[in-house]
Amino acid sequence: MTTAIYRGMNRQELDRAYSNTGRLADFPGLMRDFRARSAAFHAAQDCRRDRRYGPGARQTYDWFAGGRADAPAFVFIHGGYWQSCVKEDFAFCAAGPLARGHDVILAEYTLAPQASMTQIVAEIGQLLDHLAAQGVGRLCLAGHSAGGHLAAMHRGHPAVGSVLAISGLFDLEPIGLGQLNDKLQLTAAEIAACSPQRNIAAGAPMLVAVGAEELPELIRQSDDYAAACRQVGERAVLLHVPGCDHFQVLDDLADPAGVQLTALAALDGRR
């Protein structure tokens, strides 16, 4: 009998439980579509590309201008389980918040195994410090998947006025037990220190969004985290995005009339 290592799952079952790409018929085709849409969006917009917040090769961000003065800048952190993808892959997502009146900032960061989880988390804090030092007003900090984790880790930053954590990983224990850890090499101390679920403190109001058609473990992670935040008096609104899997939630984000941006505006007290 194969030994269960997490919530009744053995390692093979756990790996499947977190394989968002494994349930897709053509993940490479999906990413080609994302990149083509993002390239077209970049070409059509006023964008300041590859601005620096630190000396590292990937310590950069893109800035799409055009938001209203009364709207917080929307900072988006991409996913890829902390070990793949680049900010340019997801530029198409900026269409929704830009149309809602936000300037949009696409964040980049160093990936594993070149950087540890501790270093990756610290880089996002470095970006937020840089933006604050540049005089950027209150931020809406958003992220998808691994980016949702990184956004939740920084909801207490003084520059952050609201958080949108999409399909995030809020307890790193299962990540540390499966094949995703081959590059991450999470330590027990990092799992404890870098799991938002285990470090809930005072922070910005948060929308925790997850696709209603996502893997059960991803839905459970969002459900558990939102509930834990509310239990200690933090404002956390849980949203299951109807009809969406782990990647379709990004199409909803790119839609200015999508359910995520509509709920975020309500959280922020904006139209």
Asked whether residue 16 is assigned to any structural domain, the reply reads no
User: CATH number of the domain that 112 lies in?
Assistant: 3.40.50.1820
Residue 270: the pLDDT is 61
Asked whether residue 2 is assigned to any structural domain, the reply reads no
Output the six-digit token pair for 46.
Answer: 């006023």
Q: How many domains does the chain have?
A: 1
Mean pLDDT for 30-55 is: 96
Asked whether residue 18 is assigned to any structural domain, the reply reads no
Residue 2: the pLDDT is 75
The C-alpha R_g of the chain, in whole angstroms, comes to: 17
What domain range is 234 assigned to? 26-268
pLDDT at 165 over 50: yes
* Predicted confidence (pLDDT) per residue in 89-125, tens digit: 999 999 999 999 999 999 999 999 999 999 999 999 9
Q: What is the mean pLDDT of the chain?
A: 96
Q: Are strands 60-64 and 104-107 parallel, antiparallel or unpaired?
A: antiparallel
Asked whether residue 1 is assigned to any structural domain, the reply reads no
* Predicted confidence (pLDDT) per residue in 51-95, tens digit: 999 999 999 999 999 878 788 999 999 999 999 999 999 999 999
Residue pair 87/108 in contact by the 8 Å Cβ criterion? yes
In whole angstroms, what is the distance from residue 92 CA to residue 166 CA? 16
pLDDT at 271 over 50: no
Asked whether residue 9 is assigned to any structural domain, the reply reads no
pTM above 0.95, yes or no: yes
Asked whether residue 10 is assigned to any structural domain, the reply reads no
* Spatial CA neighbour of 71 closest among 270, 243, 267: 270
Q: What is the DSSP string of 104-160?
A: EEEE--PPTTTS-HHHHHHHHHHHHHHHHHTT--SEEEEEETHHHHHHHHTTTSTTE
Asked whether residue 5 is assigned to any structural domain, the reply reads no
Residue 95: the pLDDT is 97
Asked whether residue 12 is assigned to any structural domain, the reply reads no
In whole angstroms, what is the distance from residue 106 CA to residue 37 CA? 15
Residues 6+ apart with CB under 8 A from 178: 11, 14, 15, 18
Quickly tell me which residue has 């200015």 as its tokens. Answer: 256
